[in-house]
Chains A and B, each alone.
Chain A
Amino acid sequence: MEYLIGIQGQDFVLVAADNVAASSIIQMKHDYDKMFKLSEKILLLCVGEAGDTVQFAEYIQKNVQLYKMRNGYELSPAAAANFTRKNLADYLRSRTPYHVNLLLAGYDDSDGPGLYYMDYLSSLAKAPFAAHGYGAFLTLSILDRYYRPDLTRDEAMDLLKKCIEEVSSASISRRFHLHYLHLFNLFHL
């Protein structure tokens, strides 16, 4: 099962996704990247049904980039999140709904960091921490217990490692890929 997790700090958002692309019992890829860079300050993590994820995420990605080309400035994370949700909602009651679960992480220069949780029924919630997949059942309690709004980067990394250890031990082993969004820079770990 695919796993996404996000933790928001005071001036950063830390997101992680597992690395496996599976097709029923076979792991077809061990280094599959579920992260889509919408802009220099916005990241979209997308899991769900096989083709829907890439199609939907690339569509959102190209439209966010188009906005910047047309208007000269980038969409804010809140606007991007609402745009994504609107598209999911529009397709939900069509003949071709997109079965995708998303985490959108962004940094707004005026509002600060933001983590947005979206699911395939196009619900949207801005949350301090969030997770998708079976791993969410295991790790939300860990996050409830140890999360504080004033986490430093290192403390958030430790919390993330606790969550990943739990998911790795309690389920079929997964390899993890970390992306770290802080201020203006996007670090890959």
Chain B
Amino acid sequence: IYLLKMNKYNTHTHTHIYMIYDYISNSASFCLPNHSTTVRRPFPLSHGTTTLGFIFQGGVIAAADTRASAGGLVACPAVHKITPIHSHLVVTSSGSGADCMLWERILTREIRLYQLRHRRRLSIRGTAKLLSFMLHPFKGTEVCVALTLCGWDKESGPKLIYVCSDGARLQGDIFSVGSGSPYAYGVLDGGLKWSLSKDEAISLAREAVFRATHRDAYSGNNVDLFHITAQGWSQRKREDLKEEYYRDMEKRSKDRRGKIKRE
């Protein structure tokens, strides 16, 4: 009986994977994923982050901090961790900054090619599956990407799918990824309801990222907020969390003063 022999090169993206191998073999300091020689890293890679996404009655909110850390150094305080793929899909990235940038570009290219070839847009679930299958050959190597696809499907509405280089692919209503994610979950799980208004949802997302950056050393600087609806994504102006911190301090001292007056 001839059944499908699973061969990791037997996917429709095999040409693209060969392209990556060719590119890597031309650049001196990398090594091919399946060869045994390891190359020592010249510096610690950027990993720490706080990103989150959730679905509510008004669509999908995606939020992330903007700090790229390399070990104990803030390599860049103003990184874009949320990238639009097309008009109705954004992806939040966490893990290794370089890997995320590369895979976001690859995903954007593949989605656009699909759209040109098949004259329709690939669904969010299909996008997640495509990304997961493209990342599969690199499982077990140092590739570290944890992306959350936040988008709106014309047929099935808002979607939030978490894809990571380990191979996990999870669809859900609320995800937070990164070193600051436990802190963000703490705020989100308590305050999230389906019936939130748009402003309440945005302030909840901002608060969650703020609390995570307050506690996590590897997250900080600013917060990016995206809101995705049936009409597409819209980006809010980047906000400095330092201002949020001062507002929070002000509120706390006012509360304390109010409490002392009452006592």
Known: A25-B182, A26-B185. A96 touches B8 (CB 8 A): yes
Segment from B163-171, B222-230, B236-244 that makes contact with A = B163-171
Count A interface residues, CB 8 Å.
22
Instruction: Provide the residues of chain B in CB contact with A52, threshold 8 Å.
Output: 167
When the two chains form the complex, which single residue of B1, B8, B167 contacts A50, counting CB atoms closer than 8 Å? B167
B166 and A96 within 8 A (CB): no
B136 and A29 within 8 A (CB): no
Which residue of chain B has its CB nearest to the CB of A21? B170
Q: How far is the CA of A95 from the CA of B3 in the complex (A)?
A: 21
A50 to chain B, nearest CB (A): 4
- Grouping DSSP codes into helix (H, G, I), strand (E, B) and loop, the A interface class, with mixed when no group exceeds half, is helix
The answer to whether the Cβ of B49 comes within 8 Å of any Cβ in the partner chain is: no
Q: Mark A23-52, 1 if CB is under 8 A from B, else 0.
A: 101101100100000000000000001111
The answer to whether the Cβ of B27 comes within 8 Å of any Cβ in the partner chain is: no
The answer to whether the Cβ of A175 comes within 8 Å of any Cβ in the partner chain is: no
Known: A26-B185, A28-B175, A55-B136. A62 touches B167 (CB 8 A): no
A96 and B3 within 8 A (CB): no
The answer to whether the Cβ of A67 comes within 8 Å of any Cβ in the partner chain is: yes
Which residue of chain A has its CB nearest to the CB of B168? A50
A55 to chain B, nearest CB (A): 6
A51 and B34 within 8 A (CB): no
The answer to whether the Cβ of A89 comes within 8 Å of any Cβ in the partner chain is: no
The answer to whether the Cβ of B172 comes within 8 Å of any Cβ in the partner chain is: yes
Q: Which of chain B's residues 134-184 have a Cβ closer than 8 Å to chain A? A: 136, 139-140, 162, 164, 166-170, 172, 175-176, 181-182
Q: Mark B1-37, 1 if CB is under 8 A from A, else 0.
A: 1011010100000000000000000000000001000
When the two chains form the complex, which single residue of A21, A50, A95 contacts B34, counting CB atoms closer than 8 Å? A95
A96 and B170 within 8 A (CB): no
Instruction: Provide the residues of chain B in CB contact with A32, threshold 8 Å.
Output: 170
Q: How far is the CA of A77 from the CA of B6 in the complex (A)?
A: 21
Q: How far is the CA of A57 from the CA of B237 in the complex (A)?
A: 44
Residues of chain B having any CB pair with chain A under 8 Å: 1, 3-4, 6, 8, 34, 132, 136, 139-140, 162, 164, 166-170, 172, 175-176, 181-182, 185
A-B contact pairs, 30 of them (CB 8 A): A21-B168, A21-B170, A23-B168, A26-B176, A28-B162, A28-B168, A28-B170, A28-B172, A28-B175, A29-B170, A32-B170, A49-B167, A50-B164, A50-B167, A51-B132, A51-B136, A51-B139, A52-B167, A54-B167, A54-B168, A55-B167, A62-B4, A63-B4, A66-B4, A67-B1, A83-B3, A95-B34, A96-B8, A96-B139, A96-B140
Known: A29-B172, A51-B136. 15 other contacts (CB 8 A): A21-B170, A26-B176, A26-B185, A28-B168, A49-B167, A50-B164, A51-B167, A51-B169, A52-B167, A54-B168, A55-B167, A63-B3, A87-B6, A95-B34, A96-B140
